[in-house]
Amino acid sequence: GAGVSQSPSNKVTEKGKDVELRCDPISGHTALYWYRQSLGQGLEFLIYFQGNSAPDKSGLPSDRFSAERTGGSVSTLTIQRTQQEDSAVYLCASSLPPPTGELFFGEGSRLTVL
């Protein structure tokens, strides 16, 4: 695709439910990143993929959070048993090989946990 695509753009869920957020990176971008941005805050690093492997998962807030990437392309971020503090915009970004720091971001998935 022309850019990084994320879905859903908005998700409202009840506390305790599981949610899946999807990211489709720019074709040919081998690096994929997930960040979280709460209202008025900076970007909190969650996880980084190089190909299908995740060299760095250190930012995942708890074991309720997991992510996978298949075929070196689409990635899914799963949040189990959602809590109100999980409410945020989840941003996905991809970059050209090698990872250069020149990230291209998607429009984000806004998650609201009631």
Partner 1 sequence: QKEVEQNSGPLSVPEGAIASLNCTYSDRGSQSFFWYRQYSGKSPELIMSIYSNGDKEDGRFTAQLNKASQYVSLLIRDSQPSDSATYLCAVNRGALINNQGGKLIFGQGTELSVKP
Residue 97 binds partner 1 (CB under 8 A): yes
* Contact call for residue 74 and partner 1 (CB under 8 A): no
Residue from 5, 13, 43, 87 touching partner 1 (CB under 8 A): that is: 43
Q: Does 72 bind partner 1 (CB under 8 A)?
A: no
Is 52 an interacting residue with respect to partner 1 (CB under 8 A)? no
Give how far Cα 53 sits from Cα of 12, 71, 90, Å. 30, 10, 20
Q: Is 87 in the site for partner 1 (CB under 8 A)?
A: no
CB 102 within 8 A of CB 4: no
Can you read off the two tokens belonging to residue 25?
């990176």
Minimum distance from residue 65 beta carbon to partner 1 (Å):
15
Query: Near partner 1 by CB under 8 A, which window of 21-29, 34-42, 70-78, 79-87?
Result: 34-42
Q: Which residues contact 91 (CB under 8 A, 6 or more apart)?
A: 6, 34, 35, 36, 37, 43, 105, 106, 108
Q: Which residue has the tokens 């980084």?
A: 48
Selected from 29, 35, 77, 82, the binder of partner 1 by CB under 8 A is 35
C-alpha 48/C-alpha 23 separation (Å) is: 13
Binding residues (CB under 8 A) for partner 1: these are 31, 33, 35, 41-43, 45, 48, 50, 55-56, 58-59, 91, 95, 97-108
